[in-house]
Structure 1
């Protein structure tokens, strides 16, 4: 699976953990493919930090592996606020003193700054990478998920939806993460929440799906050199 994390009891009153049933393993195996089938999803990424929380309200295109949105800081300086666009290898930011609640559908041209996406040492970059990794062009192997420690943890209502909470298998090769991923998945295998524990952060990263309308990710104006 795409990412891994470790968290404590989520307060859902679950009876887990227990091994997945065949149906649950099938839905977990399909969940990243569902995002790919959808082309893209609207996401809200909540990133913890000792200096304050960052919230990324964005759209992620799972076919092109690119995300675009707006960053807001809570309980911290607003120097991080602004537009953001990222791929598996790079991050472009456009600082804004009064960042809007949602990014404009057509990205503005000037003012972007590009840097490499860090593979470790940045809770934000790890979160962005994980969000991109939550889509895949084929289903995962349901039998291998069960064999490698995937489990059912309980059920919880999120925005009126009754969702199963499933822990994915261990992924020791994922830089910046530790433990298991937990997915909140509906009866069709569509994911609505993911939580990931990032190294050096006391609280997990939370990625919520469908929190706002999905807006297709458009290329940056040619002058910025973006795609």
Structure 2
């Protein structure tokens, strides 16, 4: 089997961003099991359902050492672009605006006014995405990849080490909680679960996503509420769209 093909939910190039972990037995939780064909069908639709939203609201919490960063904003999954306000609970706490795309991040530090429909025209700083060294950048990149322009391969997912974990509810909506395919270097029979989690409703809609990033023990969590399209994002700062943008 082509290992890269079964790791469709999180592209293989991004799996290195998540930490390695081993399943820890929990006597109160059902034992993880293989996906049924119906569950694999639902999981295969998850990223395509996100893509079909076009633009959607996202709230994420990202652990980074002894700090927690909260992101509140919107992502355009077709245009691969995000716009959000960040709050860092470090001492002293900090807030900033961010635009990002696969090339890099534009941030407006020391922001105090919420997420404006019209971002400021100046005061932006730029850096390339550093997903292998920064938990925040890892999550920014993963958020862009939660949408895909076609369903994943359900048959390969059913044969992979993706696992059903339990049933749950989000805002009264029944969802399946599933672990994504594990790390490519996980030995057969190791009991290691993937380091991504998906909360998927009966129609294949993705309502919550979790990932362990780098060496973090805590999960980074993104909430994707089922709402109508959030509308077009404001244009990013010009430097982020130039061919000479940070690489």
* TM-score normalized by the length of structure 2: 0.79
Distance 1:8 1:212 in 2: 34
Relative distance call for 1:119 and 1:226 in structure 2 (3 A) is closer
Q: Which runs of 5+ in 1 are unaligned?
A: none
Task: Summarize the Cα distance change of 1:225–1:97 in structure 2 as closer, same or farther, 3 Å threshold.
Answer: closer
Does structure 1 residue 48 correspond to structure 2 residue 63? yes
Deviation at residue 215 of structure 1 after TM alignment: 4.4
- In structure 2, the partner of 1:110 is 122
- Corresponding position: 1:220 with 2:236: yes
**1:19 CA drift (Å):** 1.2
What is the TM-score when the length of structure 1 is the normalising length? 0.86
SS of structure 1 residue aligned to 2:232: coil
1:149 to 148, 157, 161: 161
**Equivalence for 2:5:** none
- Corresponding position of 1:86: 100
Specify the alignment match of 1:204 in structure 2. Answer: 219
Ranges in structure 2 where 5+ consecutive residues have no aligned partner: 1-8, 186-192, 242-247
Distance 2:22 2:69 in 1: 19
Q: Secondary structure at the match of 1:48?
A: strand
CA deviation string 1:2-38 (max 9, x = no partner): 26555867x9x64241111111100100100001111
Deviations 1:129-182 (A, max 9, x none): 111111101100001112121111111122222211011112439xxxx93321
TM-fit CA distance, 1:200? 2.0
> Would the aligned equivalents of 1:219 and 1:226 in 2 still touch at CA under 8 Å?
no
Q: C-alpha separation between the residues in 1 aligned to 2:194 and 2:35?
A: 18
Secondary structure at the aligned position of 2:70 is classed as strand
1:134 counterpart residue number: 146
The CA RMSD over aligned residues, in Å, is 2.5
Larger Rg: 2
Deviating above 4 A after TM superposition, structure 1's stretches of 4 or more consecutive aligned residues are 3-9
Q: Which moves more between the two structures, 16-25 or 206-215?
A: 206-215
